[in-house]
């Protein structure tokens, strides 16, 4: 197992201890400096090569000339290549795991050639995997820039260089991660979003200044806004809101229908009302708001209410489904339909509401839905609107009509853009067919 900066057992009073310590420190500092320069180039190209028949190696070909010359000097022939780009901060580097899997499944592979150590590993997990293969599978590690070759019989001084470089690469990774988080927080304090914009917005880059920006998506913004407005009424579940949004044509940025899970995350995302969250801290952003703060808070209230009292709306959409509570027991009043068959073959359906018996709440009462509808109609018929109320409601009705027309215009525009895109694709396919 690898221990960072492993030093051979030596007495502290030995006269050789101090020079050894100085040389070790110099080696470590050189490795850190080299790692900083090389870390900026993140694309690793790995090639499988063969040497002298059964011996096979993997070549890190980020700098083609240097490593190809090294392979040529050692009479090595390239037979296969892997190309990948991934962060070393991942718990599991999937592409790097493919290289290790290749080494495990090809026992003739005995050599691994890389430009330098921080090209091969930048975390303890990768270092341990390579070191175990060096010890157990007799894998030989060649690092061209360090002029270092490791195998099962390597000396302690070579292993110290290996451990020091691995430790330096890990320090560099942590340093750059901290620097990135610091930059993200600084941008957040300035109201700038440094990540992928949520659905309804899009990331753009100014051609003149080269600066990135977040703007409303002209195709999806109004659909997302309508989704918030519908859910805020409390009449629709997340699944129903997602279904209605799909019917209107709302898709993800990969042109896939939005899922209920995506809609749930969007309804909880305060970015739409002007607040962004970075590592648990909230900041006000500088971009255009898609919805008001009040609308977002109303959606939050509906979400909290449904979390405390979840209502599973399944089956038929009865008139009073999910709307009534029993005054005697405080429980939700369910609705059920019964089908009656007559001797002459006729059938008739009766819809019943099932409140609890006030005298014994463990027993149900079966009340026809038509009776409750008559009671509600009578209560509404007794309402008297005060003078001037209708005049005060007219502006709200007119505003709702204006919003409806605006929504229709946005929908028409989105459909026209999609139609134009399809026509353009058809024209390109037609031209291609004619050329062939």
- CB-based burial label for 154 (10 Å; 0-12, 13-18, 19+): middle
Q: Mean of the pLDDT values across residues 268-294?
A: 90
Strand (E) or helix (H) holding 277: strand 275-278
Confidence grade of residue 29 (pLDDT, cut at 50, 70, 90): very low
Q: What is the mean pLDDT of residues 177-202?
A: 86
pLDDT in tens, 285-324: 999 999 999 999 999 998 888 776 655 555 677 788 778 8
Please check whether residues 23 and 139 belong to one and the same domain: yes
Q: Do 168 and 56 lie in a common domain?
A: yes
Is 316 contained in some domain? no
- Are 263 and 161 part of one and the same domain? no
Tell me if 113 sits within 8 A of 74, measured CB to CB: no
CATH number at residue 54: 3.40.50
51 lies in the same domain as 175 = yes
Pair 75, 51: CB distance under 8 Å: yes
Same domain, 24 and 101: yes
For residue 404, being part of any structural domain is answered with no
Q: Which CATH number fits the domain that encloses residue 247? A: 3.90.1750.20
Residues 158 and 94 in one domain: yes
Q: Are residues 269 and 164 part of one domain?
A: no
Bridge partners for 202 per DSSP: 215
CB burial readout 394-431, b (16+ within 10 A) else e = eeeeeeeeeeeeebeebbeebeeeeeeeeeeeeeeeee
pLDDT surpasses 80 at 46: no
Residue at a domain's end among 273, 308, 343: 308
For the CA atoms of the chain, what is the radius of gyration? 34
- Flag whether 11 is in a domain: no
- Give every CB contact of residue 253 below 8 A, 6+ residues apart in sequence: 199, 202
Query: Is residue 324 domain-resident?
Result: no
Confirm whether 431 is domain-assigned: no
Indicate whether this model's pTM tops 0.85.
Answer: no
Q: Which domain holds residue 142?
A: 17-180
162, 172, 173, 63: which is closest to 117 by C-alpha?
162
**Beta bridge mates, 309:** none
Domain count, the chain: 3
End of a domain among 290, 308, 326? Answer: 308
Confidence at 86, pLDDT banded by 50, 70, 90: low
Is pLDDT at 341 greater than 80 in this prediction?
Answer: yes
Q: Is residue 323 part of a domain?
A: no
Question: Are 39 and 113 within one domain?
Answer: yes
Q: Is 4 left (phi over 0), alpha (psi -120 to 50) or beta?
A: beta
Residues 353, 229, single domain; the answer is no
Query: Quick one: 301 and 209 in the same domain?
Result: yes
Phi, psi torsion values for 93, nearest 5 degrees: -85, 100
- Give yes or no: residues 249 and 121 share one domain: no
Which segments of 369-388 does DSSP mark as H helices, in order?
A: 369-381
Paired residues of 141 in beta bridges: 112, 150
**Same-domain check for residues 34 and 149:** yes
Partner residues linked to 45 by β-bridges: 83
Of 214, 182, 375, which Cα lies nearest the Cα of 279? 182
Residue 243 within any structural domain of the chain: yes
**d(Cα 328, Cα 315) in Å, to the nearest integer?**
26
Strands 334-341 and 212-216: unpaired
Q: Looking at the domain assignment, is residue 186 inside a domain? A: no
């Amino acid at each position: 197992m690898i221990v960072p900066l492993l030093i051979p057992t030596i007495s502290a009073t030995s006269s050789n201890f101090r020079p050894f310590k100085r040389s070790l420190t110099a080696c470590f500092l050189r490795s850190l400096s080299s790692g900083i320069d090389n870390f900026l180039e993140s694309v690793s190209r790995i090639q499988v090569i063969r040497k002298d028949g059964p011996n096979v190696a993997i070549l890190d070909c980020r700098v083609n000339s240097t490593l190809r010359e090294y392979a040529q000097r050692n009479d090595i022939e390239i037979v296969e290549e892997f190309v990948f780009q991934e962060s070393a901060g991942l718990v599991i580097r999937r592409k790097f795991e493919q290289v290790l899997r290749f080494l495990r499944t090809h026992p003739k592979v005995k050599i691994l050639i890389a430009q330098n150590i921080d090209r091969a590993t930048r975390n303890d997990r990768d270092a341990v995997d390579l070191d175990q293969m060096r010890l157990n599978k007799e894998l030989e590690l060649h690092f061209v820039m360090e002029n270092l070759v490791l195998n099962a019989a390597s000396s302690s001084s070579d292993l110290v260089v290996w451990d020091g470089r691995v430790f330096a690469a890990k320090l560099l990774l942590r340093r750059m991660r901290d620097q990135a988080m610091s930059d993200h927080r600084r941008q957040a304090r300035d109201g700038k979003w440094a990540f992928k914009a949520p659905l309804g917005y899009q990331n753009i880059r100014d051609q003149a200044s080269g600066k990135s920006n977040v703007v409303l998506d002209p195709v999806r913004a109004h659909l997302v806004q309508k989704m918030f407005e519908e859910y805020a009424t409390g009449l629709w579940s997340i699944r129903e809101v997602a279904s209605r949004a799909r019917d209107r044509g709302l898709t993800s940025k990969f042109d896939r229908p939005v899922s209920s899970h995506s809609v749930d995350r969007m309804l909880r995302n305060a970015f739409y009302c002007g607040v962004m969250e970075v590592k648990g801290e909230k900041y006000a952003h500088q971009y255009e708001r898609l919805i008001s703060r009040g609308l977002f808070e109303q959606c939050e209230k509906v979400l909290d209410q449904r979390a405390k009292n979840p209502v599973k709306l399944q089956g038929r959409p009865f008139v009073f489904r999910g709307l009534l509570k029993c005054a005697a027991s405080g429980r939700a009043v369910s609705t059920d339909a019964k089908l009656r068959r007559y001797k002459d073959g006729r059938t008739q359906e009766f819809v019943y509401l099932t409140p609890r018996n006030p005298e014994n709440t463990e027993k149900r009462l079966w009340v026809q839905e038509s009776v409750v509808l008559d009671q509600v109609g009578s209560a509404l018929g007794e309402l008297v609107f005060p003078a001037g109320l209708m005049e005060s409601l007219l502006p709200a009705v007119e505003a709702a009509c204006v919003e409806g027309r605006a929504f229709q215009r946005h929908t028409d525009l989105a459909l026209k853009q999609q139609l134009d895109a399809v026509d353009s694709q058809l024209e390109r396919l037609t031209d291609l067919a004619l050329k062939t």
